[in-house]
Amino acid sequence: MAAAYGIAILLHINRLSLAALAPPAGVTQRRWLAFCNPPLRNLVTKTLGNDDWILHLDNVRELRKHADDPAFQAEWRAVKQDAKVRAAALIQRLTGGCA
């Protein structure tokens, strides 16, 4: 919650629109994810056994097989939590800690 609030503050402070955070034209969401969130990219690649998903969207469907796996769920949550912590740290650095 705090990370989401911090991002909202950062967007407000910098007067960014959500569109400014979208991948540039011509860059797929998969390649954007692979570039912007390496820990999540690594988890998806490890789980699927290769990085073909970056170029082939249909391969991402294979993650469904792991959706009920407690180990995969724990790793997924850990990766998301790490991203939130890193985002909060960036927001604090950029805003001088006013959140």
- The answer to whether residues 94 and 7 touch, using CB atoms and an 8 Å cutoff, is no
State how many domains the chain has. 1
Enclosing domain of residue 36: 2-95
Please report the pLDDT score of residue 23 as a whole number: 53
Condensed to tens digits (0 to 9), the pLDDT of residues 71-85 reads 999 999 999 999 999
pTM of structure? 0.66
Q: What is the pLDDT of residues 4-15, one digit of tens each?
A: 545 455 444 444
23 vs 84 pLDDT, higher one: 84
**pLDDT attached to residue 48:** 95
54, 37 in Cβ contact below 8 A?
A: no
> CB of 99 within 8 A of CB of 91?
yes
The rounded distance, in Å, linking the Cα atoms of 68 and 71 is 9
